[in-house]
């Protein structure tokens, strides 16, 4: 092998090494430049009785009933109730807590007995932003005639008053 061939091979190896190093650097840089996403709360699922509706993966483009789910502009649209848990024993007033991201910026709460008799109604403020905000409301309700009932948490539709993003769960009195 001549000196010219040997030099050409050394130059080629140096160039390959430099390109590999640059590629690894770019890969490392692209992974470290991304912001860490906030964890998305998971919906509460009842172990007994009613299940909280999970957040679907993507919103519908049109229709009268909006769908809970991520979008490019406002991710995590919907309601997530964190307290009380399904099956928990509650008394009056009951404190409802959770996270919401709603176009109406309003959360309605209805306490019902097992026969769907309305025992109490409450409201809480929410937000419509990139990240869901916390909400909390205390709802005073009449003494129930049954030992169990439900709590409904939803956003009232500004168009027709329907219950959007409805979360229903069973409670004991």
Query: What does the chain come to in residues?
Result: 173
Shared domain for 162 and 98, answered yes or no, is yes
**Residue 91: which CATH number?**
2.60.40.2550
DSSP 9: H
Shared domain for 87 and 156, answered yes or no, is yes
Q: How many CA atoms are closer than 13 Å to the CA of 15, on its beta-carbon side?
A: 6
Shared domain for 88 and 146, answered yes or no, is yes
Examine residue 67 and state whether it is found in any structural domain, yes or no: no
Shared domain for 27 and 88, answered yes or no, is no
The mean-pLDDT minimum among 44-53, 68-77, 138-147, 149-158 falls in 44-53
Examine residue 21 and state whether it is found in any structural domain, yes or no: yes
Shared domain for 92 and 147, answered yes or no, is yes
In the prediction, which pLDDT does 64 show?
A: 47
Q: Which domain holds residue 7?
A: 1-34
Shared domain for 27 and 84, answered yes or no, is no
Q: Is the pLDDT assigned to residue 140 strictly greater than 60?
A: yes
Helix, strand or coil, per DSSP, at residue 12: helix
Shared domain for 9 and 89, answered yes or no, is no
Contacts of 81 (CB under 8 A, 6+ apart): 44, 52, 96, 97, 98, 151, 153, 167, 169
The pTM score is 0.56
Examine residue 112 and state whether it is found in any structural domain, yes or no: yes
Q: Among 67, 42, 39, which residue's Cα sits nearest to residue 155? A: 67
Examine residue 141 and state whether it is found in any structural domain, yes or no: yes
Q: Is the pLDDT assigned to residue 121 strictly greater than 90?
A: yes
In the prediction, which pLDDT does 36 show?
A: 52
Structure-token match 């190896």, residue found: 13
In the prediction, which pLDDT does 94 show?
A: 95
> pLDDT tens-digit profile of 36-70?
555 555 444 443 333 444 444 444 444 444 555 44
CA 164, CA 101: separation in Å to the nearest integer?
12
Q: Among 128, 34, 26, which residue's Cα sits nearest to residue 79? A: 128
The answer to whether 149 and 49 have CB atoms below 8 angstroms apart is: no
Query: Chain-wide mean pLDDT for the chain?
Result: 78
Examine residue 61 and state whether it is found in any structural domain, yes or no: no
Number of domains within the chain? 2
Helix, strand or coil, per DSSP, at residue 15: helix
CA 152, CA 170: separation in Å to the nearest integer?
9
Shared domain for 83 and 27, answered yes or no, is no
């Amino acid at each position: 092998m001549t000196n010219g061939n040997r030099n050409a091979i050394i130059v080629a190896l140096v160039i390959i090494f430099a390109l590999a190093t640059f590629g690894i650097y770019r890969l490392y840089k692209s992974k470290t430049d991304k912001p860490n996403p906030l964890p998305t709360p998971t919906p509460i699922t009842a172990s007994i009785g009613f299940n909280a509706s999970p957040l679907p993966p993507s919103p519908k483009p049109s229709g009268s009933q909006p769908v809970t789910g991520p979008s490019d502009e406002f991710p995590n649209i919907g309601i997530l109730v964190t307290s009380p848990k399904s099956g928990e024993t509650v008394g009056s007033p009951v404190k409802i807590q959770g996270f919401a991201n709603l176009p109406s910026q309003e959360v309605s709460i209805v306490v019902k007995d097992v026969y769907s008799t309305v025992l109490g109604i409450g409201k809480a403020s929410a937000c419509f932003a990139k990240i869901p905000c916390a909400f909390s409301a205390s709802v005073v309700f009449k003494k129930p005639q049954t030992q169990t009932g439900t709590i409904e948490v939803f956003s009232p539709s500004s168009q027709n008053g329907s219950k959007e993003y409805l979360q229903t769960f069973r409670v004991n009195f």
